[in-house]
């Protein structure tokens, strides 16, 4: 049997964590409770963060948006600032789990689980999100890519919790999208995922681009040399084929129950061709709605 504490304030949480340093925190519990089922007769002391007001909600602070680590996905999806400024994040959340999982699960849980398949991670990498980490005596900030060390490993000290995610507004990339290839349409864990933000010229060439891949290495991969290579290139089949070949040097996929490393490599190169479709669709939209 697990003992569960339900503090209503951060002060209450610190009091328990000081008294029981081995206690495990959770928010929605959609990852932790699956894990605990695998630990026979777990007697872990649990601290539920879900009711702590300081860890929930979304604030538009002018230059950036702050998202409480324990805000359920459904709330993030319905937030107008997130919809307007970070469509790539909304797109990824819509493809994460099921309505039930999105009602309970949180971005804080997805980040701290540090799975290479976590759907919010590629968008957070290209949005260059900063994480706010709090302990009883300190608050620190760290870029998301420095926080995640490997599968299930994050730079979180005992007694620390992830309190919020800060994302700068005003990224000059009008086209945002998230692609996820899984074994089925619904409730699929990503075999390969790709988050993209890009800007095209009037002629349809790539002016600037950011991209990050999930599930192809121990942590999310942001292939900066390919972003540089693509800037200024025509958005055509040949450019993307060459980028797909170059990309292979940045990938370190594994064979697992969902897919082989070879398959992940091939899909990663092929999925780049989606840029053409998304680019064309955005050009059509801008002609339809433009001046
Ligand atoms: C059926 C099912 C389908 C799923 N589908 C997907 C999917 O499509 N894509 C995907 O990415 N994930 C999926 N998941 C995994 C999971 O739902 C997500 O990772 C979710 O975001 C976890 O959030 P949570 O709040 O439930 O985390 P929890 O289970 O509460 O916590 C997860 C881990 O993070 C730690 N933690 C949580 N919050 C904090 C905090 N604020 N500070 C410090 N540590 C913290 C906990 O100690 C725990 O180790 C699925 C899970 C299930 C059960």
Task: State the 10-residue block means of pLDDT for the chain, 291 residues long.
Answer: 91 94 95 86 87 97 97 98 98 96 98 97 98 96 98 95 97 95 77 96 96 96 97 97 95 86 93 92 67 42
Instruction: Give the pLDDT confidence score for residue 291 in this predicted structure.
Output: 42
CATH class for the domain made up of 3-168: alpha beta
Ligand 1, atom 4, residue with closest C-alpha? 97
How buried is 236 (Cβ within 10 angstroms: 0-12 exposed, 13-18 middle, 19+ buried)? middle
Atom of ligand 1 nearest to the CA of 182: 8
Ligand 1 centroid, distance to 46 Cα (angstroms): 15
Instruction: Give the pLDDT confidence score for residue 247 in this predicted structure.
Output: 95
Ligand 1 pocket, 118 CB below 6 A? yes
Instruction: Give the pLDDT confidence score for residue 289 in this predicted structure.
Output: 47
- Region of residue 275 (left: phi > 0; alpha: psi -120 to 50; beta: else): alpha
Half-sphere exposure of 284 (CA within 13 A, CB side): 6
Ligand 1 pocket, 187 CB below 6 A? yes
Ligand 1 pocket, 220 CB below 6 A? no
Beta strands in 78-138 (DSSP E): 130-134
Ligand 1 pocket, 155 CB below 6 A? no
Half-sphere exposure of 283 (CA within 13 A, CB side): 14
Ligand 1 pocket, 281 CB below 6 A? no
Q: How far is CA 97 from the centre of its chain?
A: 13
Pairing of strands 153-154, 148-150: antiparallel
Instruction: Give the pLDDT confidence score for residue 209 in this predicted structure.
Output: 98
Ligand 1 centroid, distance to 88 Cα (angstroms): 19
If one counts every other C-beta atom within 10 angstroms of the C-beta of residue 183, the result is 12
Q: What is the pTM of this model?
A: 0.95
For residues 112 and 41, what is the distance between their CA atoms, to the nearest angstrom? 24
Atom of ligand 1 nearest to the CA of 106: 25
Ligand 1 pocket, 101 CB below 6 A? yes
- Which CATH number is correct for 175-289, 3.30.2320.50, 3.40.50.800, 3.30.390.50, 1.10.510.10? 3.30.390.50
Ligand 1 pocket, 79 CB below 6 A? no
Instruction: Give the pLDDT confidence score for residue 187 in this predicted structure.
Output: 72
| Domain edges within the chain | 3-168, 175-289
Integer Rg of the chain from CA: 20
């Amino acid at each position: 049997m697990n003992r569960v504490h339900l503090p209503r304030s951060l002060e209450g949480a610190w009091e328990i964590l000081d008294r029981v340093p081995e206690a495990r925190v959770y928010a929605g519990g959609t990852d932790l409770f699956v894990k605990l089922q695998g630990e026979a007769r777990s007697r872990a002391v649990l601290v539920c963060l879900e009711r702590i007001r300081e860890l929930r909600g979304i604030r538009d602070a002018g230059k950036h948006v702050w998202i409480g680590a324990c805000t359920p996905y459904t709330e993030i999806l319905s937030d107008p600032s997130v919809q307007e400024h970070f469509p790539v994040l909304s797109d990824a959340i819509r493809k994460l789990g099921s309505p039930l999982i999105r009602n309970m699960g949180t971005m804080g849980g997805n980040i701290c689980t540090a799975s290479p398949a976590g759907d919010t991670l590629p968008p957070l990498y290209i949005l260059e999100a900063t994480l706010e980490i709090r302990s009883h005596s300190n608050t620190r900030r760290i870029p998301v890519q420095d926080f995640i060390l490997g599968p299930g490993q994050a730079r979180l000290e005992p007694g620390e919790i992830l309190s919020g995610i800060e994302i700068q507004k005003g990224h000059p990339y009008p086209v945002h999208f998230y692609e996820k290839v899984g074994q089925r349409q619904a409730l699929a864990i990503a075999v390969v995922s790709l988050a993209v933000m890009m800007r095209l010229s009037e002629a349809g060439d790539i002016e600037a681009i950011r991209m990050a891949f999930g599930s192809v290495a121990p942590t999310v991969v942001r292939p900066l040399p390919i972003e540089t290579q693509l800037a200024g290139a025509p958005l055509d089949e040949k450019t993307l084929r060459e980028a797909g070949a170059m990309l292979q040097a940045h990938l370190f996929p594994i064979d697992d129950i969902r897919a082989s490393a070879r398959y992940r490599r091939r899909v990663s190169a092929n999925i780049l061709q989606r840029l053409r479709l998304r680019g064309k669709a955005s050009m059509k939209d801008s002609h339809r709605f433009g001046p």
